[in-house]
Amino acid sequence: MTQPVIFEIQRYRPEIEDEPTWESFEVSCRPEWMILDALNHIKDYVDGTLSYRWACRMGVCGSCGMLVNGKPVLSCATYVTSVLPGPVRVEPLRGFPVIRDLVGDITDFVRKLESVKPWIVRESEQPLEEGEYLQTPEELGEYKQYSMCINCMLCYSACPIYELDPDFIGPAVIALAQRYNLDSRDEGSEERKDILLSQDGIWSCTFVGECTTVCPANVDPAGAIQRYKVTATVDAFKALLPWASR
Amino acid sequence: METITHDILVVGGGGAGLRAAIAVAETNRDLSVGIVSKVYPMRSHTVVAEGGAAAVVKPEDSLEAHAYDTISGGDWLCDQDAVEVFVAEAPEELTRLEHWGCPWSRQPDGHIAVRPFGGMKLERTWYASDKTGFHLLHTLYQTSLKYESVTNYDEWFVTRLLVDEGRCRGLVAIELASGRPYAMVADAVIVCTGGAGKIYPFTTNANIKTGDGMALAFRAGVPLKDMEFVQFHPTGLPFTGILITEATRSEGGWLLNKDGYRYLQDYDLGVPTPEPVKRSMELGPRDRLSQAFVKEMEKGRTIETSHGHVVHLDIRHLGAEVIDTKLPFVRELCLKYENLDPVKELIPVRPVVHYMMGGIHTDMNGSTPLPGLYAAGEVACVNINGANRLGSNSLTELLVFGARAGRAAAEFAANGAGRANGAVLAQAHDEERRLQAAIERQGGRERVSGLRDEMHAAMDEGAGIYRNAEGLESAISTIRELQQRYGDVALDDQSRTFNTDLVALLELANLLDVAEAVLQSALSRTESRGAHQRTDHPDRDDDRLLSHSLAFRTEGGESRIEYDPVTITRWPPGKRVYGEQNS
């Protein structure tokens, strides 16, 4: 029931080589295997130096994003059978400096994530004894989709803008900002404005929509960006009106 | 070797670690906190928890009822004073999460919605659809970013605790990206590294659940408590071990044998009714359901597949609408990983290793017997879970006891404990040399994966749902042999940059130590209670063993087991009754 598959994997070991290289492995794959299972087979039984990240193996921790045949995917959620006959090319996600093999450096993403204040901002806190803030299912529905991001970076890897302009804060971070802006409990949208409307914010996006296409969590970052553009435009016009309060 | 100093170090960036770090920051902003985590915090295993978190919220519910469900579910091995604290602080902790933005599912009027879970008298499980752990973790992580006193050391792997003059004074950690080890010193260390499901081959646990914190504390002389109690969740997908949440059953799902028969009725769990009945049938506790599966398999009434025997979980009658609104992740997982649609098809499931009731011995403030060392979450054992944890108590536990450990550590650190001295730094240098030798070792005959495979086989064989002395002894001798052979492992990877081969080697040592403690504790407990079922000692024995086991590591590496009595406050040991007798 196994099938031999050739994997061409991009290797980069900074202590050994100056440039990324390619290495081929032939693996007997079972039909129920994901790409990650094949990588684990190589690591455990063929070459322990192969390096990549993984944790949950159920598509929710966001660790194991990589390019498979040029497409950004979660390797734990992509069947080997879906990319046959091979050879199957496996590379690190585009857009991130490679630390080693399939491991990219995401520190820049984490800095951008922090920059939009992804937490509830309020003038005053309701005491805990008074219980929860009320939020109807409809109010929850306003932001729920944007709260589903698993920070897997597939959208950055797919985004042609990010590839050209690494300062662009990017799809997932804008969606996260919108997740809080649209939360009925939050009052922080003013504080997030500067960064969202900056040169590296929403206006960089030319609405290619690749981010939404590759998102494994159905977050629709492209929709989040478009929606914020509309909000920002309406706000800008309102501010021009003579009776607008300042 | 560089030294990094903080007032408090938190090991692990999952739910418990983040909650502890925030508690320190909110207690005293002058204390600097470093969170040292082997993965980015949002990758932590908290992320996979599905069903929900328990806390009393309905007016007809009560703290007593939550305590009773927890204690009877734990087969009376819970410390009842700790359970009382736990149930009392649970609602406040979940409300705090709500204030921090957790997208809890709501009722039409905007209040929190709750659902029932296994072993519960009343609905008290708060949920965020069926990705509760995911939302809880991301809420905590994002909230933690607003505290300037908290610094993250992401993808740093802790290899050793530094102990001097009877106090924990820091740790050694490798920055994975560079491969450099650092001495990290602090007045207090809070260990929040989660469980150790990876001592078994078939588990819901992520690859990262290698018992690191348990092994670190164990080797620093701290006992591991109640390690024989390993929870097998009754509904995992075959091959992958992916968990199908208990919420499928609280929403009305059925467990069927190969004849389509709701077999739980044959195991003293009540009578089948079309609608779910609390503390009955499919809403019985996890230990009893997993044990019923084994009995059913012995009767030849399960279904044989290429990945072992299974039964069927049937949620078809719930309909697409309920499944899509309340169990969307279940449908997604089945479609993605099992190629089936639970709206139309039966889900094959089998028991799967899920949770460690045992862990680092702590009191209800997260303090361990080693001053300066704290622990919280799955890595710790307070013990509120007894011999079997109730579903939806673990997320609440990591919040309540993460916060308590953070506050206790903050108080300890604020009392000025004195900083690292020469002896501590000398230990750190020893550790640096040990790590270097492990990377450079040449000519070894063993591979990490080979030893790990043998450990898995031994644990599967000897320490499953049912155990006996013979099987446990045989598994112990295998583990002892593997610990000897560990010294003969040579790595493929001798570089420094992001060396995951080295991490796997260090994790293997942790796994072996934890596995040994599980086996010795299981061999020593000559009774059956909760998740620990001995075929050679089938009855509960309160006269001799209403006690927590404590495994101490000895010079030779073998565990020595001692016992500490269970604290009983208001609920004297009784019979666990599930099914119609209870209603």
**B286-310 tens-digit pLDDT:** 999 999 999 999 999 999 999 999 9
Which chain A residues are within 8 Å of B325, Cβ to Cβ? none
B210-225 pLDDT, tens digit each? 999 999 999 999 999 9
- Is residue B15 classed exposed, middle or buried when 0-12, 13-18 and 19+ CB atoms within 10 A define those classes? buried
Shortest alpha-carbon distance between residue B247 and chain A (Å): 18
What mean pLDDT do residues B179-191 have? Answer: 97
Burial of residue A123 (number of CB atoms within 10 Å: 0-12, 13-18, 19+):
exposed
Structure token pair of residue A68: 């498979």
Mean pLDDT score across all residues of chain B:
96
The per-residue pLDDT for range A151-180, each reduced to its tens digit, is 999 999 999 999 999 999 999 999 999 999
**Residue in this structure with the two tokens 């949620």, named with its chain if needed:** B315
Joined tokens for residue B203: 């588990």
B58 near A CB under 8 A: no
Contact B481, B441 (CB under 8 A): no
pLDDT band at B419 (very low <50, low <70, confident <90, very high): low
Does CATH place domain A3-104 in 3.10.20.30? yes
Give the residue on A whose Cα is nearest the Cα of B208.
A55
Say yes or no: B111 contacts chain A, CB-CB below 8 A.
yes
Find out whether B94 and B126 touch, Cβ atoms under 8 Å. Answer: yes
Sort out which chain A residues have CB atoms less than 8 A from B449's CB and list them.
Answer: 43-45, 48
Q: Which of B211, B166, B221 is nearest to B191 (CA)?
A: B211
**CATH (residue range A107-240):** 1.10.1060.10
Contacts of B175 (CB under 8 A, 6+ apart): B153, B155, B156, B181, B182
pLDDT digits (tens, 9 = 90+) for B458-476: 999 999 999 999 999 999 9
Spell out the domain ranges in chain A.
Answer: 3-104, 107-240
DSSP B529: B
Task: Write phi, then psi, for B15 (nearest 5 degrees).
Answer: -55, -50
CB–CB contact B491 A117 (8 Å): no
Residue A245 has pLDDT above 60, yes or no: no
Instruction: Please state, for a pLDDT cut of 70, what percent of chain A lies above it.
Output: 98
Whether B95 and A143 lie within 8 Å, measured CB to CB: no
Q: Quick one: what percent of chain B has pLDDT higher than 70? A: 98
Size of interface A-B (CB pairs under 8 A): 157
Cβ separation B145–A58 shorter than 8 A:
no
For residue B582, what pLDDT is reported?
A: 45
Rounded mean pLDDT of A15-30? 97
Residue B421 pLDDT more than 60? Answer: yes
The confidence score (pLDDT) of residue A1 equals 82
Residues from chain A that touch B140, judged by Cβ atoms under 8 A, are none
Q: Which residues of B touch A117 (CB under 8 A)?
A: 146
Q: What is the mean pLDDT of chain A?
A: 95
**Rounded CA Rg of chain A:** 21
Q: Give the confidence band of B555 by pLDDT, cuts at 50, 70, 90.
A: confident
Cβ–Cβ < 8 Å for B37, B12 = yes
Contacts of B324 (CB under 8 A, 6+ apart): B331
Nearest by CB: A100 against B131, B491, B497: B497
The whole-number pLDDT of residue B443 equals: 85
CA B132, CA B12: separation in Å to the nearest integer? 19
pLDDT tens across A187-219, in order? 999 999 999 999 899 988 988 899 999 999 999
Q: Is B233 an active-site residue?
A: yes
ipTM of the complex: 0.96
How do residues B372-381 score in pLDDT, each as one tens digit?
999 999 999 9
How far apart are the CA of B133 and the nearest CA of chain A, in angstroms? 10
Nearest to B62 by CA among B120, B126, B127: B120
How far is the C-alpha of A235 from the C-alpha of A233, rounded, in Å?
5
Cβ–Cβ gap A32/B39 under 8 Å: no
Q: Is the pLDDT of residue B178 over 90?
A: yes
Active-site annotation holder among B45, B66, B160, B249: B249
Between residues A3 and B580, the one the model is more confident about: A3
Amino acid of residue A41: H
Chain B positions in Cβ-Cβ contact with residue A135 (cut-off 8 Å): 106, 110
- State the pLDDT confidence band at B78, using cuts at 50, 70 and 90: very high
For residues A67 and A82, what is the distance between their CA atoms, to the nearest angstrom? 14
Q: Do A49 and B493 touch (CB under 8 A)?
A: yes
B 390-429 residues inside an 8 A Cβ radius of A: none
CA distance B46 to chain A (A): 9
**DSSP character at residue B386:** T
For A124, which residue in chain B has the nearest alpha carbon?
B99
Tell me which chain B residues have a C-beta less than 8 angstroms from the C-beta of A147: 103, 135, 138
What is the distance between the alpha carbons of residues A91 and A53, in angstroms, rounded to a whole number? 13
Is the model's pLDDT at A232 over the cut of 90?
no
The C-alpha angle B500, B501, B503, rounded to 5 degrees, equals 60
Nearest to B505 by CA among B48, B113, B213, B159: B159
Query: Of the candidates A44, A62, A139, which has its C-beta nearest B42's C-beta?
Result: A62
Which of B95, B454, B491 is the best mutation test for A, with the most CBs of A within 10 A? Answer: B95
**Mean pLDDT, to the nearest integer, of B8-32?**
98
Considering Cα of A33, then A38, then A43, then A45, what sign does the dihedral take? Answer: positive
Stretch A135-142: mean pLDDT, rounded?
98
Within 8 A of A114 by CB-CB distance, chain B residues are 145
pLDDT for B417: 59
Could you tell me which chain A residue has the CA closest to the CA of B338? A32
Q: Is B174 helix (H, G, I), strand (E, B) or coil?
A: strand
